[in-house]
């Protein structure tokens, strides 16, 4: 009648729990996504993402320094231009907001953190798609690849340590790798959004980047019901030279994250996207959840599922909590 196995013995106090903890989250595991908007004179709040802003160039530098001081592993930069056009020309313009901001951050923080750049056209096009359109209004995969190659080079020239193709175009990693290597940027790494799902959880992000999207992205982003396809996408990206791969979103795709982490021979990232952030913030605002505990538990679940790196809007704040806990 008496249990001989008592797992509670190893939970009896904080020191024991810390000793046998299987999964940890450290500031270096976290990457902060940041938005910089052309033409702003002061940071602009994003209504659907309380606490997150579109930065000016100056406020971006300040926030980057704060994040580096907190120990975050990297910064992922998204640019929001004043003007959009059919080909997203601002993405390849060296004076476009994303590339200028990369140079700002490179000068400000240098190699003290990892500078990552979103490599996609959706923020820059007047139709909001991740590639250029053909005469029938469909995304033209191969024409888009040519632009992605140019974007990768410009971002590397602007100071990105890592370029991050997120458009889910077939062959994007290979074209970008070839373009970087041919122009002297063989050391610039590629973080491939290998399994990026056509998700409802991106809603607040559309506001954050002033998306002009018409229609949807189901012809190039993954179907939420497909898991094996994610493994195939990751395999293709690795064969094309990806240095890291990503699963996006995170919390609804932890099974996919686990599967890819189990077979990938490179670091694996995941992205706690805008909708996941906003759900937590809404529940906290209503008094339903404890903010710090919820955030850290969610990040731990992603690490436990196999993520080496987690992109999260909580990165700076969570890094400080983690530092304080270890002080």
| DSSP letter assigned to residue 202 | G
State how far the Cα of 222 lies from the Cα of 249, in Å rounded to an integer: 11
Indicate which residue of 62, 83, 218, 248 is catalytic: 248
Q: Which residues of 189-226 are buried (b: 16+ CB within 10 A; e: fewer)?
A: bbbbbbbbbebebbebbeebbebeeeeebeebbbeeee
The angle formed by the CA atoms of residues 43, 190 and 312, to the nearest 5 degrees, is 40
Please say if 196 is a catalytic residue.
Answer: yes
Q: Any residues with CB less than 8 A from the CB of 60 and at least 6 apart, and which?
A: 34, 36, 101, 104, 105
**Which of helix, strand or coil describes residue 218?**
coil
Strand-pair partners of 272: 312
pLDDT band at 211 (very low <50, low <70, confident <90, very high): confident
Query: Does the pLDDT at position 235 exceed 90?
Result: yes
Here the tokens at position 109 are 């923080």
In angstroms, how far is CA 150 from the centroid of its own chain? Answer: 21
Indicate which residue of 61, 62, 83, 196 is catalytic: 196
pLDDT band at 210 (very low <50, low <70, confident <90, very high): confident
Tell me what percent of the residues of the chain surpass a pLDDT of 90: 91
Query: Does the pLDDT at position 4 exceed 90?
Result: no
What mean pLDDT value characterizes the chain? 95
Question: Of 58, 56, 213, which is closest to residue 120 (Cα–Cα)?
Answer: 213
My answer on whether omega of the bond before 249 falls inside 30° of 0, hence cis, is yes
pLDDT band at 208 (very low <50, low <70, confident <90, very high): confident
- Report which of residues 1 and 39 the model is more confident about: 39
Residue-wise pLDDT tens digits, 25-57 = 999 999 999 999 999 999 999 999 999 999 999
* pLDDT computed for residue 325 by the predictor: 87
Residue-wise pLDDT tens digits, 163-193 = 999 999 999 999 999 999 999 999 999 999 9
Query: Does the pLDDT at position 215 exceed 90?
Result: no
> If you average pLDDT over residues 99-107, what whole number do you get?
98
* pLDDT computed for residue 209 by the predictor: 80
Residue-wise pLDDT tens digits, 195-205 = 999 999 998 88
* pLDDT computed for residue 212 by the predictor: 79
Question: Of 27, 23, 24, which is closest to residue 319 (Cα–Cα)?
Answer: 27
* pLDDT computed for residue 327 by the predictor: 74
* pLDDT computed for residue 326 by the predictor: 83
* pLDDT computed for residue 213 by the predictor: 76
Query: Does the pLDDT at position 216 exceed 90?
Result: no
Please state, as a whole number, how many other Cβ atoms lie within 10 Å of the Cβ of residue 319. 25
* pLDDT computed for residue 111 by the predictor: 95
State how far the Cα of 48 lies from the Cα of 166, in Å rounded to an integer: 22
Please say if 62 is a catalytic residue.
Answer: no
Residue-wise pLDDT tens digits, 50-102 = 999 999 999 999 999 999 999 999 999 999 999 999 999 999 999 999 999 99
């Amino acid at each position: 009648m008496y249990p001989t196995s008592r797992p509670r013995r190893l939970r009896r106090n904080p020191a024991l729990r810390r000793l046998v903890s299987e999964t940890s989250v450290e500031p270096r595991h976290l990457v902060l996504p940041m938005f910089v908007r052309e033409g702003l004179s002061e940071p602009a709040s994003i209504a659907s993402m309380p606490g997150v802003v579109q930065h000016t160039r100056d406020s971006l530098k300040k926030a980057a320094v704060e994040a580096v001081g907190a120990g975050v592993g990297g910064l992922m930069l998204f640019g929001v231009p004043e003007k959009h056009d059919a080909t997203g020309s601002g993405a390849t313009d060296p004076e476009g907001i994303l590339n200028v901001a990369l140079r700002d951050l490179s000068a400000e923080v240098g190699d003290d953190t990892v500078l990552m750049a979103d490599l996609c056209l959706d923020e820059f096009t007047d139709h909001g798609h991740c590639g250029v359109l053909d005469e029938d209004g469909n995304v033209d995969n191969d024409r888009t690849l040519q632009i992605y190659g140019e974007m990768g080079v410009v971002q590397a020239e602007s100071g990105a340590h890592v370029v991050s193709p997120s458009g889910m175009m077939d062959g994007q990693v290979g074209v970008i790798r070839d373009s970087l290597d041919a122009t002297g940027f063989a050391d610039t790494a590629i973080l491939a959004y290998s399994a990026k799902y056509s998700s409802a959880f991106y809603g607040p992000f559309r506001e954050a980047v002033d998306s002009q999207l018409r229609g949807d992205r189901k012809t190039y982003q993954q179907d939420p019901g497909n898991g094996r396809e994610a493994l195939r996408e990751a395999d293709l990206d690795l064969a094309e030279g990806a240095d890291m791969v990503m699963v996006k979103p995170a919390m609804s795709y932890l099974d996919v994250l686990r599967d890819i982490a189990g077979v990938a021979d490179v670091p694996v990232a995941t992205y706690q996207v805008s909708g996941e952030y906003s759900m937590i913030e809404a529940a906290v605002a209503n008094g339903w959840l404890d903010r710090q505990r919820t955030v850290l538990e969610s990040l731990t679940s992603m690490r436990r599922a196999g993520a080496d790196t987690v992109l999260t809007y909580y990165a700076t704040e969570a890094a400080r909590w983690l530092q304080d806990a270890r002080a």
